[in-house]
Structure 1
Amino acid sequence: MSRKFLETESPAWVTEGLITEAQRERLLARYPSDAVQAVGLLPLLGSILVGLSALSVVAANWQRLPTQLRLGLLLGSLVAAYAGGEYFLRRGNRRVGHGLIGLGLVVFGASIILTSQLYQLVGYDISGLLAWVVVGVLLSYLYTSQSLVLLPILIGAAVQTYCTQALGIFSYTIMALVALGSGYRWWRRPDTLVASVLAVGLLWQAALWVALSHSKITWFFIPAMLVYAAGDWHRDRPAARALQGPPLVAAYLFALGLALFGETDQYAGLLRPPVLAYLGALAAVFALSVAGKRQQGRLASLPDWLLLLPGFYLPGGLPLAIATLMVLYAHAGSVLARAHRSGEAEQLTLGTVLFVIATMVAYFKLTWAFLDKSLFFLIGGVLLLSLSWYLRRRNAQRLAAGVASVASPGSAAASPPSPPKPLA
């Protein structure tokens, strides 16, 4: 909550009797003005500039410095960052304190890399980088900070990228540390931003695994939908949605690409894994997802799995494009139906966008070649106007039903109760 919002809204709260004037003043005192916050950031910004200046000087003369001095600078920077973080935390300045702790984690990783270069350690030994991820995960448990939870996820993705691109290996330990370590931390303290970043980080590592192992691209969706299934088991619905968002986006883009470019069989060598192995693994993840949805009462979101229908096993051509478009339409319709039942405006907007995308893909894919351009755009405009009219009509019906449901209990309460009947 910002001070500007309080200054704007709190007088009306006092007028309506929600709070007193004294309480309003206490609330305003709790949230300092933007100017005070900006002044409070000046020492931090000045310290960062001084630190960057010292860092640039050291970097420019790094190779000329004695080995002991280099190690002393690395160790001193590490101790200074952690000690400064603890100092500000004890004084109640959590932002600066957590920022310095995060800086210490970054310095720790840089120290590992620079020390390896200094002593020319073996390049294929990733134990030092693995220790960096371990320390990051441990810090996320020691401190209640969103940034310190995000850092090990990003560090894990960066280290995994280095391992696959520079060393040609995939570290399952790093993926397990991020999935289990950071994942359990999020599970105990759900957060929507952390959920989104965690899902993207795990999907990135899954993509690196597919690329390094030269597997079929579709194997990517087994770990991706495992992330989705984990969201089905979490009680916090907003955090679960944030975790499931990236896998669903990836699945939708894949289905959209299949609808656009699936008319040829050029994709067969890239997308078709062994049937029994792939469908068995996908069925196991699907069963896990269904069990979670049933446990949390979210079976209405089961049509999300329509995007994972393995249509790429079908022969290419127009039938495959039409079948994929039908899947996209069915998925968009399920999102719209779910939004109308729950009354969520964001889901309604999302369903509308998905429906329009499917319509445009079908339109350009199936009609552009044989319709006159004027008739082409005319039909498209009529379709979009019809969709807009239908959605507005549905919203009006829901609003009328809501007003009626609110009015009916009041009228029933206003009528006097009937006298009890005499006993026979």
Structure 2
Amino acid sequence: MVATLEILDTVAGCEQWIAPAIDSYPQGGDMRLIRLLKHDLAREAGVWVEVGVISEAQAEQICERYGVDYHRAQQRSWGYNVLVGLAYLFIALAVITLISANWDEIPRALRMGGLVVLTVATQCIGLWVYLKRNPRTGEGLFLLGNFFFGASIILISQIYHLGEHMPDGVFWWALGCLPFALITRSPWIALQANALALVWFYLQVSMGYYPMWFPLFILTSLFVLMRGRGSISLLLVFLVSIGFWIEYSLSEFWRVQAQGFKLDLHPENLAVAIFLFALLYSFGHWLALKKTTIAQDYAAVISVWCLRFALITLLLFSFASPWESLINAGWDHLWSMWLVVAAVGTATLALAVPTRRLISTGILLALTTIALVLVSIGGNKDLAVYLQVATNLVLIGSGIWLIYRGIYDGVSHYFFLGVMAILLTALLRYIDLIGDYLGSALIFILFAGLLLGAAKYWKFHQGREGVR
């Protein structure tokens, strides 16, 4: 605590250079990860103002750069919002429980009318509150009304024994949420609709039906993401929904061609998924070029999650067995797969041009394409070992690159992710090579050398920064 106060006292005497530093600090990739914690940064800025580190005007300037209202952030309470949301949920559960407990004693007409009145009344009150008093409270009432709407669908179906196709109830529930999501542009209501749509998607697919209307919910989420408040949760659900829909559509197309079973997974799905993540990664960098704060926030999230997906994929394929499974798999839809991969790859390269990442993106796509050709056309089981070695080399190279980026750009997330990649590679190779003590020892020596080299470069880089 004493050390912290000493640091604050030291910084407090340097106000004259804080504001110019803020103005000149880059808005690019070096600071994108801070955007994920921008509300915490805004609240911390309030502490700095209280202890005299910076002035209130400078705190407002810092928050404005990341699209946060400084004064609202001081009153903002994530815990309060969570408690209110849970309270609305438990109100809905309590009402549903009371109705269910006395269901048999209530006349049928009263049941029907009561459910309709409860749903309509809640939505009307929510609309009045949204337009006249408090939009956020109105959104909460809309969420509550949507829960009542879903319960009404379920209970009315029981009254009139409407259960021929069970996913239809979930579909109409999700569809009933869409108008309120479009009117309010609320990410929470859009998230509710999209989550219900995903449940309907799974039920529909598991029963052998194609979810024809699923893109409607994807487009609604896209509209809210573009025109409403920023929401990381809605962004992630939106991206997952797109991935599921594309992959299942391809699976259905290949199933019809081969006259196979529903929900068949093909090795071609994995190839398309990898190229889709490459496209998403390029899209994230392209989005970071936009001037809006929301676009840059979304770019940061996309970049981080694509990077994590890439490392997890490399760790899985650092063993020989996944490569052997792909080599032995039946690649029955190569022509259509290559057409999709070519289209996605072309879009990825097109997005890489304005971000000045054409060479690195081209190398990544070329290596992935070579690996796909070897496993889908080669058919040689001995290739699995060579591909495993190549994957481990790429994994080590990625760890070194992340450590370098973390040190050079000052992004701790990259640094620790790179160190974690190297340590996990060492651990997995030790498990894989148990009994071969000489090989394990050589691997440990190699990784120790890499980490020592990274530490020496860190010291050298800090020395150069000190000279500057």
Q: TM-score of the superposition, structure 1-length normalised? A: 0.74
- Contact in 1 for aligned 2:96/2:151 (Cα 8 Å): no
1:388 corresponds, among 441, 451, 466, to: 451
Whole-angstrom distance in 1 between the partners of 2:268 and 2:337: 9
Whole-angstrom distance in 1 between the partners of 2:196 and 2:155: 16
The aligned residue for residue 107 of structure 1 is 148
Whole-angstrom distance in 1 between the partners of 2:129 and 2:48: 33
Matched, 1:351 2:414: no
1:258 corresponds, among 317, 322, 335, to: 317
- Contact in 2 for aligned 1:255/1:324 (Cα 8 Å): yes
- Contact in 2 for aligned 1:137/1:182 (Cα 8 Å): no
Q: Percent identity?
A: 18
Whole-angstrom distance in 2 between the partners of 1:187 and 1:44: 24
Matched, 1:278 2:278: no
Whole-angstrom distance in 1 between the partners of 2:193 and 2:85: 23
Letter matched to residue 398 of structure 1? H
Aligned residues: 389
Whole-angstrom distance in 2 between the partners of 1:225 and 1:249: 15
The aligned residue for residue 243 of structure 1 is 302
The aligned residue for residue 145 of structure 1 is 186
Q: Where do residues 142-291 of structure 1 align in structure 2 (5 Å cutoff)? A: 142-165=183-206, 167-174=207-214, 176-188=215-227, 191-205=231-245, 210=251, 212-222=262-272, 225-226=275-276, 229-230=279-280, 231-232=283-284, 233-234=286-287, 235=290, 236-243=295-302, 249-250=308-309, 252-262=311-321, 265-268=324-327, 270=329, 272-291=331-350
Matched, 1:368 2:434: yes
Cα distance 1:282–1:352, how it changes in 2: closer, same or farther (>3 A)? farther
Q: Where do residues 116-131 of structure 1 align in structure 2 (5 Å cutoff)? A: 116-121=157-162, 123-124=164-165, 129-131=170-172
Whole-angstrom distance in 2 between the partners of 1:252 and 1:97: 42
Letter matched to residue 315 of structure 2? L
Question: What whole-Å deviation, never above 9, does each CA across 1:182-231 have from its counterpart, x for those lacking one?
Answer: 12432455543332232234344556664944140441552674465253
- Contact in 2 for aligned 1:157/1:205 (Cα 8 Å): no
Letter matched to residue 192 of structure 1? I
Cα distance 1:359–1:217, how it changes in 2: closer, same or farther (>3 A)? same
Q: Where do residues 50-129 of structure 1 align in structure 2 (5 Å cutoff)? A: 51-90=92-131, 92-121=133-162, 123-124=164-165, 129=170
Whole-angstrom distance in 1 between the partners of 2:338 and 2:88: 56
Worse overlay, 3-12 or 231-240? 3-12
Whole-angstrom distance in 2 between the partners of 1:43 and 1:170: 37
Please state how far the C-alpha of 1:350 moved relative to its aligned partner. Answer: 1.9
- Contact in 2 for aligned 1:221/1:251 (Cα 8 Å): no
State the SS of the aligned residue for 1:368: coil
Please state how far the C-alpha of 1:268 moved relative to its aligned partner. Answer: 4.3
Whole-angstrom distance in 2 between the partners of 1:402 and 1:104: 58
Q: TM-score of the superposition, structure 2-length normalised? A: 0.68
RMSD: 4.0
Cα distance 1:125–1:32, how it changes in 2: closer, same or farther (>3 A)? closer
- Contact in 1 for aligned 2:129/2:137 (Cα 8 Å): yes
Letter matched to residue 389 of structure 1? L
Please state how far the C-alpha of 1:169 moved relative to its aligned partner. Answer: 1.3
Whole-angstrom distance in 2 between the partners of 1:181 and 1:30: 28
Worse overlay, 56-65 or 220-229? 220-229
- Contact in 1 for aligned 2:126/2:139 (Cα 8 Å): yes
State the SS of the aligned residue for 1:295: coil
Worse overlay, 229-238 or 121-130? 121-130
Whole-angstrom distance in 2 between the partners of 1:261 and 1:65: 64
**Structure 1 gap segments, 5+ residues each:** 21-26, 408-424
- Contact in 2 for aligned 1:78/1:108 (Cα 8 Å): yes
State the SS of the aligned residue for 1:259: coil
- Contact in 2 for aligned 1:258/1:324 (Cα 8 Å): yes
Letter matched to residue 390 of structure 2? A
- Contact in 1 for aligned 2:139/2:186 (Cα 8 Å): yes
Whole-angstrom distance in 1 between the partners of 2:403 and 2:219: 34
- Contact in 2 for aligned 1:203/1:224 (Cα 8 Å): no
**Structure 2 gap segments, 5+ residues each:** 1-38, 59-69, 252-260
Specify the structure having the higher radius of gyration (Cα). Answer: 1
- Contact in 1 for aligned 2:317/2:323 (Cα 8 Å): no
State the SS of the aligned residue for 2:144: helix
